[in-house]
Structure 1
Amino acid sequence: MTFRHAVSAAALAASLLLGAPAFAATPGAATPGAEVLNRIAEDFVRMTLEAGVREPGYVDAYYGPEALQNTAKVAPRPVSVLRKEADRLQGLLGHIPDKDLDADEKRRKLFLKGQIKAAQTRLAMIAGDKFSFQDEAEGLFGVRPVLKPLKSYDPILARLDKLVPGKGDLASRVDAFQNKYVIPTDKLEPVMKAGIAACKAKTEEHIKLPANERFDLSFVTGKPWSGYNWYQGKAHSLIEINTDLPIYISRALDLGCHEGYPGHHVLNALLEEKLTKGKGWVEFSVYPLFSPQSFIAEGSANFGIELAFPGDSKTAFERDKLYPLAGLDPKTAQAYGELQEAKAALSSAGNTIAAEYLAGRMTKEQAVQAMMKYSLYSRGGAEKRVAFVETYRSYVINYNLGQDMVRAHVNRAGKTEDARWKAMERVISEPTTPADLRK
């Protein structure tokens, strides 16, 4: 006998931990299941904040009540208890009948299920449980990646070999070629700001941004990533650019779109405006890094580059605006643009390398060498990428597989630029799940 749909919304609400509400009442919570979702969402926020104390870096952003965060810091529950809490919340979600929810609330329920499944997986990892790369990725991000054998990328390398001048191994030749396109240190800030401004202008043509949105730009060192958006709440972001390695001219628009517009900054600002404030959905006030939300965030941020600058327009803008700012020769922009486009076909090779390395089937040096050969990183870049894998593990799938799925979803919306931007806005302002991208 099952009780899956035999529990009323009122009974479910009574079964939740009944503390003083930390959040304001949700506007228009009229359906029988809405209040249950609200209480599950509040407990999800508490659980996530406490998990963030147990694992630094687990919480990427939080802009809810400060008192709730302070409580989590003072008295976080043990990981074993947090695992039981995640199981409890998942069980409660499974018992909310769809008939008790409207269409928006059904999407909210599915979003929460994915977020809580990710919490169950990550808390198990914190406790010491081991997963295969694919099981881990599916549990955390809601998508099971297909890992291609590295030899399947050999034809792409063969094509690139003909494109890059010089003698010697391909990775070294690519490195030497790209070194001609490094932004000088004294030009870095104006070039990056010009790139971000261009990404914002393109985005504002299609998406109405929240009032008073803004970002601060900072340059840092000693990080495993190349750029990071730290969302502060109230439509404000801190965008950090890592200068450990040389920054190529192509990265100005890449980082400007990815970290800023229409990437992470815009996604977080829209979710805050439309869901946290507009609907009172408190689960969006906290962003657990290891969750399907990151699959959507990274995939849309990467696709946002080509959405804002389709075809040859990226190379043209760099040639006309950024090369002069950086003191580089605009006449060589086309050749560099062609190389970047060709290299993009290798993006998923890093998933296979990460899986092999994390499973112990590659040593660290073998992983570095594989990154150099199949992702065409410099030695320093390959070491930095392996360090990223060590820190973030299967998170790497979000950049390439996420981009592929967002691209396919947005392009299905229509052939016009307007239709695609509208589809993109829905992706980054609604409770989008990886399953939604298949529609």
Structure 2
Amino acid sequence: MSVPLETDLGKLAEDYVSLALHLHNHDPNPYIFIGDKAQQAVIKDDKRPLVELEGAFGQLREGLEAAVVSGSEGDAYRRALLADRADALLTRAALLQGRMPRTFEAEVEALYSVSPPELGEDHFRALAGELAEIIPGSGPLPERMSAFRDRFLVPPEHVERVVAATLDEARKRTRANMDLPEDEGITLLMNNFGAFGAFAEYLGKGRTNVHFSTTMLFHVDRAVELATHEAYPGHHIQATLLEAEMLDKRGWHEWEMLPLFGAHTIVAEGAANYGVGLSFTRTERIDYDRDVVLPMAGLMHLAPEIESYHRYVDYVERLNFARNEAARRFLYLGWSREGAVNWLVEFGLETRAIAEMRLNIIEAIRSYVITYNYGLDWVTEQIEGDETPDTALRWQRLRALFETPVMPVRAHWNMVPRRP
């Protein structure tokens, strides 16, 4: 007997949450869930086979296509976003069974609904040539860069103090530009959370555990980068405002569940990266690192070199698309682990230790790496377009991006209305 097709949008949203939790019985990657903990516990003890979950996701997708929405643009867009999510987790279920899309591009499209550019070796060689002029010494550039950067390594015994102070500063800057709930806040945990150097574990009701790795190298520039990306105005603030809008105001219960896979992550990671430069201009970041981070890290003797160091940081940020190319080659073109690490050293100009860490992340989360760099480009386009908006307007638009379900949705999904 065939099972009747569910077409009620609210019930389909509940089905999505349940299926996503079931999928994570098989997926070791972290996820955020702020829904019913009893439901989560029951599902953890009910390990449905992946092939069965694939069929259920397919039926969810069919139900969404057949669903009757109220006629409002909000409901129609909600349906499109849910269909996109169902497709992404259907793809993830196949990947967990060893069935990959035909190409890296197809995987990215299926999981994140975008098409990042493919960049060749000439692009990275040109940037490396420019960078070679500002890195002192002689010999191979990756080795010179490693020696230069590691002089700015924060000693492990100082990392927690540096991070805590920078989180406080990032919070002050965010609150000066956004009205936030009075009871929002974070708990800093110095531990290891999966393959990540840092991870924001949103707990609901404006509270987040921000995990920082105790094993990964922590350079001076990472203080501002990670404090803003993970917390203020990054993932912690995103999740706080998203919960207030999507769950408390709209009642869209699918937002109780935030897996790593789906178009929403383009916005999540891209906006978190956008918030770095919005919170600290380049000049302010240099000043902060010189006046606060270096003294706290016991590295004041490097103050005269901090501007040169940030020229290096600028280039490394432009080079991080090399991680996409390493993932493409390692996951789909048969490259060995050593070959991919060598690519990241030569064309991403990473140290070998950092390149190994990057590849560990690629092994764990695959094409997710594109959400950081291409995600930043996508979010920048949404906020700035062809304009040059002032700082206040950029903050306003960043908040709007958190509070409205604006994200890439596949062109082939034919029921996408104008964005609400």
Whether TM-score is above 0.5 comes out as yes
Q: Hey, which bits of structure 1, 4+ residues long, moved more than 6 A?
A: none
Q: CA deviation at 1:391?
A: 0.9
Q: CA deviation at 1:221?
A: 4.5
Q: Provide the alpha-carbon RMSD of the alignment.
A: 2.0
Q: Which residue of 1 aligns with 2:375?
A: 402
CA distance in 2 between counterparts of 1:349 and 1:192 reads: 27
Unmatched segments (≥5 aa) in structure 1 = 1-13, 17-32
One-letter amino acid of the structure 2 residue matched with residue 152 of structure 1: H
Q: Does residue 127 of structure 2 align to residue 156 of structure 1? A: yes
- Whether the 8 Å CA contact 1:140–1:290 is kept in 2: the answer is yes
Between 1 and 2, higher relative CO (CA 8 Å, sep ≥ 6) is seen in 2
2:356 paired residue among 353, 365, 383: 383
One-letter amino acid of the structure 1 residue matched with residue 75 of structure 2: E
SS at match of 2:151: helix
- Whether the 8 Å CA contact 2:195–2:361 is kept in 1: the answer is yes
- Whether the 8 Å CA contact 2:154–2:220 is kept in 1: the answer is yes
**Aligned residue pairs, count:** 405
Q: Does residue 239 of structure 2 align to residue 268 of structure 1? A: yes
- Residues 371 and 323 of structure 1, relative CA distance in 2, 3 Å threshold: same
* Offset from partner CA, 1:54-102 (integer Å, 9 cap, x none): 2232x5111111221122122243222211221112112222356x331
Q: How does 1:37-436 map to 2 (within 5 A)?
A: 37-57=9-29, 60-96=31-67, 100-131=70-101, 132-221=103-192, 223-329=194-300, 330-412=303-385, 415-435=389-409
- Whether the 8 Å CA contact 2:192–2:211 is kept in 1: the answer is no
Q: CA deviation at 1:320?
A: 2.0
Q: CA deviation at 1:150?
A: 2.2
- Residues 211 and 285 of structure 1, relative CA distance in 2, 3 Å threshold: farther
- Whether the 8 Å CA contact 2:124–2:348 is kept in 1: the answer is no
Q: CA deviation at 1:146?
A: 2.2
- Whether the 8 Å CA contact 1:227–1:242 is kept in 2: the answer is yes
SS at match of 2:187: strand
* Offset from partner CA, 1:201-237 (integer Å, 9 cap, x none): 1111222223311111122248532111111222211
SS at match of 1:239: strand
- Whether the 8 Å CA contact 2:80–2:409 is kept in 1: the answer is no
CA distance in 2 between counterparts of 1:75 and 1:227 reads: 30
CA distance in 2 between counterparts of 1:105 and 1:315 reads: 45
Percent identical among aligned pairs is 28
Unmatched segments (≥5 aa) in structure 2 = 411-417
Q: Which moved more, 1:193-202 or 1:326-335?
A: 326-335
CA distance in 1 between counterparts of 2:194 and 2:409 reads: 32
CA distance in 1 between counterparts of 2:39 and 2:71 reads: 28
* Offset from partner CA, 1:173-217 (integer Å, 9 cap, x none): 111111111112222111111111121111112222233111111
CA distance in 2 between counterparts of 1:221 and 1:271 reads: 26
CA distance in 2 between counterparts of 1:49 and 1:245 reads: 30
One-letter amino acid of the structure 1 residue matched with residue 212 of structure 2: I
- Whether the 8 Å CA contact 1:258–1:301 is kept in 2: the answer is yes
Q: Which moved more, 1:74-83 or 1:337-346?
A: 74-83
One-letter amino acid of the structure 2 residue matched with residue 240 of structure 1: H
Q: CA deviation at 1:331?
A: 2.3
SS at match of 1:218: strand
One-letter amino acid of the structure 2 residue matched with residue 46 of structure 1: S
Q: CA deviation at 1:298?
A: 0.8
* Offset from partner CA, 1:128-176 (integer Å, 9 cap, x none): 3222211111111111222211232111100001110001111111111
One-letter amino acid of the structure 2 residue matched with residue 124 of structure 1: A
